[in-house]
């Protein structure tokens, strides 16, 4: 299989270019659109990612593998890859979706990415498809936390760390709240009594700020080990 030209970030030269065109056609633009390809691509993406996790984490249990796969194939993660591949400007959309900025919407980008995966598979075979697609996920795979921590947010991980050592739970305190109603910024402090630690975090919601503060405290604890 010939390599794609470097200007094509997808990494596959299509023998049947109409497959790629269909993969990038939203149903709002009429038939043939990408919904059937998306159906197949969803299964292929899950298989490629599941196999990669299975081989990468030989001792992880089913729960950890399932949580990690869910993290990697969630809509926002797939949309981020679609943006890296510059799929948005190449989408064919109906007038309404074009006007509303559909080429930037996570759901449309994620669906298009899955459809492109299916198109690659149908244009070649599964082994080549995996060879093309797996590198798209490598940065996210490399950034995953250890299997026992994947899928758990910072507040949960901090609580489990403290409970395992029979320490008091953290105290979260709202430090400040600023901005207009539609663009609030919350600042929250997370404080531990033992071991003594404190950090602040900001976010568009109080919960998001608490998560940021908890993550900072966890980093402080990790640095002390």
Query: What tokens were used for 181?
Result: 């109603």
Would you say the pTM of this structure is higher than 0.75? no
Query: What tokens were used for 185?
Result: 């910024």
Check whether 5 has a pLDDT greater than 70. Answer: no
Domain at 17-143, CATH class: mainly alpha
The pLDDT tens digits for 142-169 are 988 888 777 677 898 899 889 989 999 9
CA–CA dist 140, 81 (Å, integer):
10
185 bridge partner residues: 178
Fold of the domain built from segment(s) 154-224: Double Stranded RNA Binding Domain (3.30.160)
The ranges of the chain annotated as CATH 3.30.160.20 are: 154-224
H-run or E-run covering 174: strand 171-178
C-alpha distance from residue 18 to each of 14, 105, 120, 123 (Å): 9, 23, 11, 10
Catalytic: 181? no
Catalytic residue, chosen from 114, 123, 210, 216, is 114
The ranges of the chain annotated as CATH 1.10.1520.10 are: 17-143
The pLDDT tens digits for 113-142 are 999 999 999 999 999 999 999 999 999 999
Catalytic: 86? no
Q: Is 111 annotated as a binding residue?
A: yes
Check whether 2 has a pLDDT greater than 60. Answer: no
The pLDDT tens digits for 50-96 are 999 999 999 998 988 988 998 899 888 999 999 999 999 999 999 99
Binned at pLDDT 50, 70 and 90, residue 225 comes out as low
User: What residue has token string 């593998």?
Assistant: 65
Interhelix angle 126-143/75-84, rounded to 10 degrees, is 110
């Amino acid at each position: 299989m010939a390599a794609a030209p470097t200007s094509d970030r997808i990494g596959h030269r299509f023998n049947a270019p109409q497959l790629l065109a269909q993969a990038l056609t939203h149903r709002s633009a009429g038939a043939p659109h990408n919904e059937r390809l998306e159906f197949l691509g969803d299964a292929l993406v899950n298989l490629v990612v599941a196999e990669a996790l299975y081989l990468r984490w030989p001792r992880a249990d089913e729960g950890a593998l399932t949580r990690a796969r869910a993290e990697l194939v969630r809509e926002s993660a797939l949309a981020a890859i679609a943006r890296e591949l510059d799929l948005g400007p190449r989408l064919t959309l109906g007038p309404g979706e074009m006007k509303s900025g559909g080429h930037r919407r996570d759901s449309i980008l994620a669906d298009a990415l899955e459809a492109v995966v299916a198109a690659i598979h149908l244009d070649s075979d599964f082994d080549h498809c995996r060879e093309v697609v797996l590198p798209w996920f490598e940065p996210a795979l490399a950034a995953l936390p250890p299997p026992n921590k994947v899928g758990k947010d910072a507040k949960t991980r901090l609580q489990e760390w403290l409970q395992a050592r029979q320490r008091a739970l953290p105290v979260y305190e709202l430090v400040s709240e600023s901005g207009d109603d539609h663009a609030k910024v919350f600042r929250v402090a997370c404080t531990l009594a033992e071991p003594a630690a404190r950090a602040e975090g900001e976010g568009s919601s109080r919960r998001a700020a608490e998560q940021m503060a908890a993550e900072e405290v966890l980093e402080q604890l990790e640095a002390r080990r």
